[in-house]
Amino acid sequence: EPEVTQTPSHQVTQMGQEVILRCVPISNHLYFYWYRQILGQKVEFLVSFYNNEISEKSEIFDDQFSVERPDGSNFTLKIRSTKLEDSAMYFCASSEVRVGKPQHFGDGTRLSIL
Partner 1 sequence: DAKTTQPPSMDCAEGRAANLPCNHSTISGNEYVYWYRQIHSQGPQYIIHGLKNNETNEMASLIITEDRKSSTLILPHATLRDTAVYYCIVRVEGGSNYKLTFGKGTLLTVNP
Q: Rule CB under 8 A: which residues touch partner 1?
A: 4, 31, 33, 35, 37, 42-45, 48, 50, 55-56, 58, 89, 91, 93, 98-100, 102-108
User: What is the closest distance, in whole angstroms, from the C-beta atom of residue 89 to partner 1 in the complex?
Assistant: 6
Tell me how many degrees the CA angle 9-15-16 measures, rounded to the nearest 5.
110
Tell me how far, at minimum, the Cβ of 57 lies from partner 1, in Å.
Answer: 9
Reduce the DSSP state of residue 15 to 3 states and report it. coil
What is the nearest approach in angstroms of partner 1 to the Cβ of residue 70? 21
CB 109 within 8 A of CB 10: yes
Q: How far is the CB of 81 from partner 1 (least distance, A)?
A: 25
Closer to partner 1 by Cβ: residue 60 or 64: 60
Q: Which residue's CB is nearer to partner 1, number 3 or number 18?
A: 3
| CB closer to partner 1, 14 vs 102 | 102
Sign of CA dihedral 23, 75, 21, 83: negative
Question: What distance in Å separates the CA atoms of residue 38 and residue 15, rounded to the nearest whole number?
Answer: 17
DSSP three-state, residue 84 = helix
